[in-house]
Chain A
Amino acid sequence: MPAPRRMTDEKLLHKAGRGDEAAFLLLYERHRDTVFRFAYRMLGSAALAEEVTHDCFLSLVRRPDAFDPARAALRTYLYAAVRNLSAKHLRRHGGEFPFEDLEDEPEVEERESPLGRLLDAELSEEVRKAVTALPELQREVIVLVEFEELSLAETAAVVGADVGTVKSRLHRARRRLRRALAFYFKSHSGVASAGKVGR
């Protein structure tokens, strides 16, 4: 029998579905960051992202049969699950986020100068606003391709559309983002030199 760390996702999920706690934790450790990051970027809120991550893993072990390894990898399945849960949250909250969530913004890396930190924080906030302002379908595509580095085919599998549609949404999303962040594009070199953006 292979060591638990070498076990495939399918086997771990099977064990977790039967109540194996160790298998469940291992599965969680493998995919928690991916799930949380995607949820966070879809919802723009760390608290909501944690909730979605929590629900996503619990639903996975409660209904392990819902995942069919012949159709997609577990990561793709989890992305699709997060997408659905995020859409549910967005519908429930009408696309508005609680104001206090702004406090959960990521802590930027320590910079040498206060100016650099300030610029990084400002840029991060502007990007967050620009991305969360995108329509839901464009947002999920830009997050999956630009942040999660999924291929067009993988993205198409997650969102349940064909590659052509994904390309079209991606193109429109990029155009919007370029327009929204136009200031940073023009002065990007100055920003980068001050805050070391784009590490």
Chain B
Amino acid sequence: MSDEKRQTRLLPFRLRRAARADARANGAEDFSADAELTTLLRAWDAPPQSDDARARLLADFRASVRRAPLWRHALTAQVRVPLPLAACAALALVSTLYVLGSRAATARVEPSAATKEAAVRVVEVPVIQERVVTHTVYVEKKERGATRVVSTRADAREELARRSQTNEAEAANVEPSQSAEPARKQEAHAGYFTRVDMNDFQPADEMKIRIVSRGGLNEK
């Protein structure tokens, strides 16, 4: 640090020390007591106020009071409320608002529940489903002199019929004697036989669904 900078930095301290020494030399170290000067200064008295100062001030005060209208007083009025009382009042206000708010929310929910109930109501519409089942029937002509073959085939037919009877009984829980009987009769009557197994069964390509409204008049 250069000497010049050092001197600059020390200057405030030196000035303060010099001021203190000066004060000590003048005997003014005690700030509360300078009796000689105080005595001398008291020679300067303040004059009394003029008589009309009070009247003038009072007039201005009345004018300022009168100028303020009642509504302004009402708007700027202040009420001093003790803190506990104010806290209780604030708490009561908040709880009241909360209760009112929750009630309003409940009232708002109620109609929506009613509409929801109405919307969920189930209306049954009669639906008629029509299935087209294609049953393929293979017919073979009886050949002469083919007794053996027929008999062989008759055995096979019997076997197949028995199997189908078993399947149908299982599926539809129907007595096998009732369904097997007409098939035999049909065979015996026409001289043809019908394969009733479902091996070559193919599902229908087309299904028609008819929806009939209640009453049946608008049937389509």
Binds B, one of A1-9, A67-75, A99-107: A99-107
Partner of A28, one of B26, B41, B57: B57
B47 adjacent to chain A (CB < 8 Å): yes
Say whether chain B's binding surface is mostly helix, strand, loop, or mixed: helix
- Complex interface: chain A residues within 8 A of B19 (CB): 168, 171
Cβ-defined contact, B46 with A198, below 8 A: no
Number of residues of chain B lying within 8 A (CB) of chain A: 34
Say whether chain A's binding surface is mostly helix, strand, loop, or mixed: helix
Partner of B60, one of A58, A167, A188: A58
Cβ-defined contact, A131 with B40, below 8 A: no
Contact with B along A123-164 (1 / 0, CB 8 A): 110011001000000000010011100011000000000000
- Complex interface: chain A residues within 8 A of B34 (CB): 146, 174
B137 adjacent to chain A (CB < 8 Å): no
Partner of B28, one of A107, A147, A174: A174
Cβ-defined contact, A50 with B54, below 8 A: no
- Complex interface: chain A residues within 8 A of B64 (CB): 58, 61-62
CA distance in complex: A108, B43 (Å) = 9
From residue A83, how far is it (CB to closest CB) to chain B in Å?
Answer: 16
Partner of A175, one of B26, B49, B50: B26
Cβ-defined contact, A25 with B31, below 8 A: no
B37 adjacent to chain A (CB < 8 Å): yes
B192 adjacent to chain A (CB < 8 Å): no
A185 adjacent to chain B (CB < 8 Å): yes
CA distance in complex: A155, B86 (Å) = 38
Partner of A104, one of B39, B47, B61, B73: B47
- Complex interface: chain A residues within 8 A of B60 (CB): 54, 58
Partner of A174, one of B37, B47, B73: B37
Cβ-defined contact, B31 with A167, below 8 A: yes
B42 adjacent to chain A (CB < 8 Å): yes
From residue B97, how far is it (CB to closest CB) to chain A in Å?
Answer: 30
Chain B positions near chain A (C-beta within 8 angstroms): 19, 22-23, 26, 28, 31-32, 34, 36-47, 49-50, 53-54, 56-58, 60-62, 64-65, 68, 73
Chain A positions near chain B (C-beta within 8 angstroms): 18-19, 21, 24-25, 28, 32, 36-37, 40-41, 46, 49-50, 53-54, 57-58, 61-62, 104-108, 120, 123-124, 127-128, 131, 142, 145-147, 151-152, 167-168, 170-171, 174-175, 177-178, 181, 184-185, 188, 197-199
Those 7 A-B pairs whose CB atoms lie nearest each other, nearest first:
A198-B39, A127-B44, A19-B65, A106-B47, A106-B45, A37-B46, A123-B43
